[in-house]
């Protein structure tokens, strides 16, 4: 009877893990795991193959961390390429000019700009096709287009025939190309100055889109989606839609690394990063829990505290709440650094001291027992500890990021109101 109970207990425990995994990853719009990987982990859980699952998770996390994204950007002089690439890399324009791998762009030599926090994300400034005098197919061969994940074509006016033909060639290579109309804010400002009484923002934006589609209509080509952006304020116009589209068309691992590298300009951006990081936390917690099935396989130590501190700093950097980001925001908002720091709680998260509840005391007692005996009870306890500790950290940093974004938006609103009052 004892053996039957033991077998049934283990089977039910692993089934619960599988159903929990199903429910967890179905909640996310963009999973960091491919469907076949999820199914593989589930099948190994049902058979209780602990060592294989840990190997799979280690391999998956390794592939996620080592994924590379190469983004090509092309546009004529004056289109705002440098500012656009700087905005995507979340750095000042002068920093982009300094960090180029090449000192000067020659006829067909793309210039590479690595992301400062994610060196596996590289933006390539391609030479303008108009200045090379190559046909689109030959141009793509010269710039070795096969090495890029997709191309962004940038224009501050309208798209020329060569760009339309270039997009056609890229589509035949089964790769994606995106059209971005830059400096939209400048167009709106000029139109408002010239026609203050009849100015209609939405009408002007539609005219810009129609003008961009002119060459495609003349060539009887499919009309692409045109993304209107302002490099001066990424939250306005179509930049959030652009980044969402770029992410949607990438593989799971590439999507994860590009998402984390992009600037957070809306609450939705922050939530997307949080959800991707939550998935990784789940995988690491499962791996740690499975390790705890072995006697003395896991215990909480001073080293774990150091790891949690490192995790806090990592999440702060990923979500733009680290000290360097706070200093930059203080400069932009013309506020004392101390005022900005008051908006965040994550730096002092581990310094908060609270009395242990009865539940915490019981949990610590069970943890001590499980650290010597192992088994599925230990798996559940360590999974819970790792997952909820890191999730609490992530939630705190996420709230910090949203508070800072709210403060920046409010400051921008006040400045806009002051500008309108001064105009009147």
Q: Which two tokens stand for residue 230?
A: 């302002």
Position 76 confidence tier, pLDDT thresholds 50, 70, 90 = confident
- Within this chain, do residues 117 and 138 fall inside the same structural domain, yes or no? yes
CATH number at residue 148: 3.40.50.300
* Mean pLDDT of the region 291-297: 50
Query: Cβ–Cβ contacts within 10 Å for residue 201, how many?
Result: 10
* Mean pLDDT of the region 42-50: 77
Position 9 confidence tier, pLDDT thresholds 50, 70, 90 = very low
Who contacts 237 (Cβ-Cβ below 8 Å, separation ≥6)?
A: 184, 185, 205, 228, 229, 230
Quick check: 180 pLDDT over 90? yes
Quick check: 163 pLDDT over 80? yes
Quick check: 52 pLDDT over 80? yes
Who contacts 195 (Cβ-Cβ below 8 Å, separation ≥6)?
A: none
Question: Is residue 134 included in any domain, yes or no?
Answer: yes
Between these two residues, 391 and 70, which has the higher pLDDT value? 70
Give the strand pairing for 150-155 and 69-75: parallel
315 vs 260: CA distance, rounded Å: 10
Select from 241, 261, 281 the last residue of a domain: 261
Q: pTM of the prediction?
A: 0.82
Q: How many residues does the chain have?
A: 424
- Within this chain, do residues 114 and 221 fall inside the same structural domain, yes or no? yes
Who contacts 177 (Cβ-Cβ below 8 Å, separation ≥6)?
A: 150, 151, 152, 153, 166, 167, 170, 171, 224
Q: Which helix (H) or strand (E) holds 179?
A: strand 176-181
| Predicted confidence (pLDDT) per residue in 196-235, tens digit | 889 999 999 999 999 998 888 887 788 899 999 998 888 8
- Within this chain, do residues 169 and 194 fall inside the same structural domain, yes or no? yes
Question: Is residue 114 included in any domain, yes or no?
Answer: yes
DSSP three-state, residue 333: helix
Select from 214, 239, 261 the last residue of a domain: 261
Question: Is residue 47 included in any domain, yes or no?
Answer: no
Quick check: 5 pLDDT over 70? no
Quick check: 366 pLDDT over 80? no
Contact 134/163 with Cβ under 8 angstroms? no
Question: Is residue 226 included in any domain, yes or no?
Answer: yes
Who contacts 100 (Cβ-Cβ below 8 Å, separation ≥6)?
A: 111, 112, 113, 125
- Within this chain, do residues 367 and 326 fall inside the same structural domain, yes or no? yes
- Within this chain, do residues 236 and 321 fall inside the same structural domain, yes or no? no
Q: How many domains does the chain have?
A: 2
Between these two residues, 19 and 126, which has the higher pLDDT value? 126
Question: Is residue 48 included in any domain, yes or no?
Answer: no
Residue 413 has what pLDDT? 76
| Predicted confidence (pLDDT) per residue in 297-351, tens digit | 444 455 667 888 888 999 999 999 999 999 988 888 888 998 889 889 998 887 7
- Within this chain, do residues 209 and 182 fall inside the same structural domain, yes or no? yes
Question: Is residue 8 included in any domain, yes or no?
Answer: no
- Within this chain, do residues 287 and 256 fall inside the same structural domain, yes or no? no
* Mean pLDDT of the region 53-59: 87
Distances, alpha carbon 364 to alpha carbons 356, 370, 374, in Å? 10, 10, 15
Residue 187 has what pLDDT? 92
Distances, alpha carbon 84 to alpha carbons 70, 231, 368, in Å? 15, 6, 54
| Predicted confidence (pLDDT) per residue in 77-96, tens digit | 888 999 999 999 988 765 55
DSSP three-state, residue 227: strand
Contact 146/193 with Cβ under 8 angstroms? no
- Within this chain, do residues 238 and 283 fall inside the same structural domain, yes or no? no
Question: Is residue 77 included in any domain, yes or no?
Answer: yes
- Within this chain, do residues 91 and 182 fall inside the same structural domain, yes or no? yes
- Within this chain, do residues 146 and 291 fall inside the same structural domain, yes or no? no
Select from 261, 289, 312 the last residue of a domain: 261
Residue 17 has what pLDDT? 63
Domain containing 198: what range?
68-261
- Within this chain, do residues 144 and 240 fall inside the same structural domain, yes or no? yes
| Predicted confidence (pLDDT) per residue in 367-398, tens digit | 444 444 444 444 555 666 777 888 888 999 99
DSSP three-state, residue 114: strand
Say if residue 293 is exposed, middle or buried (CB neighbours under 10 Å; 0-12, 13-18, 19+).
Answer: buried
Question: Is residue 351 included in any domain, yes or no?
Answer: yes
- Within this chain, do residues 211 and 298 fall inside the same structural domain, yes or no? no
DSSP three-state, residue 118: coil
């Amino acid at each position: 009877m004892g053996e039957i109970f033991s077998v049934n207990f283990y089977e039910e425990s692993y089934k619960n893990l599988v159903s929990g995994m199903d429910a967890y990853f179905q909640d996310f719009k963009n999973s960091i795991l491919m469907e076949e990987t999820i199914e593989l982990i589930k099948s190994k859980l049902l058979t209780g193959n602990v060592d294989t699952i840990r190997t799979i998770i280690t391999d998956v996390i390794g592939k996620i961390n080592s994924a590379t994204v190469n983004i090509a950007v092309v546009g004529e002089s004056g289109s705002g390429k440098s500012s656009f690439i700087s905005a995507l890399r979340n750095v000042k324009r002068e920093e982009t000019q300094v960090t180029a791998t090449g000192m000067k762009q020659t006829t067909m030599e793309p210039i590479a700009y690595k992301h400062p926090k994610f060196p596996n994300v590289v933006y390539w400034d391609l030479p303008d096709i108009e200045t090379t005098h190559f046909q689109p197919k030959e141009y793509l061969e010269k710039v070795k287009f096969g090495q890029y994940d997709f191309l962004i074509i940038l224009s501050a006016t309208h798209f020329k025939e060569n760009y339309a033909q270039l997009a056609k060639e890229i589509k035949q290579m089964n790769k994606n190309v995106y059209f971005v109309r830059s400096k939209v804010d400048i167009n709106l400002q000029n139109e408002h100055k010239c026609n203050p009484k009849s100015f209609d923002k939405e009408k002007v934006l539609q005219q810009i889109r129609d003008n961009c589609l002119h060459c495609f209509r003349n060539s009887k080509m499919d009309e692409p989606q045109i993304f209107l952006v302002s490099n001066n304020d990424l939250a306005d116009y179509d930049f959030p839609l652009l980044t969402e589209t770029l992410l949607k068309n990438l593989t799971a691992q590439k999507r994860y690394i590009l998402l984390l590298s992009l600037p957070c300009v809306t609450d939705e951006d922050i939530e997307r990063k949080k959800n991707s990081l939550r998935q990784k936390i789940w995988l690491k917690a499962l791996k740690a829990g499975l390790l705890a099935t072995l006697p003395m396989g896991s215990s909480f130590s001073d080293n774990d505290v150091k790891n949690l501190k490192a995790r806090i700093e990592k999440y702060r950097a990923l979500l733009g709440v680290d000290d360097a980001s706070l200093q930059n925001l203080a400069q932009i908002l013309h506020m004392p650094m101390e005022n900005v720091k008051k908006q965040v709680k994550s730096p002092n998260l581990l310094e908060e001291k609270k009395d242990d509840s009865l539940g915490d005391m019981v949990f610590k007692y069970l943890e001590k027992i499980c650290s010597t005996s192992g088994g599925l009870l230990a798996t559940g306890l360590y999974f819970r500890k790792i997952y909820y500790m890191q999730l609490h950290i992530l939630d705190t940093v996420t709230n910090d990021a949203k508070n800072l974004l709210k403060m920046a938006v409010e400051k921008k609103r006040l400045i806009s109101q002051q500008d309108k009052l001064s105009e009147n």
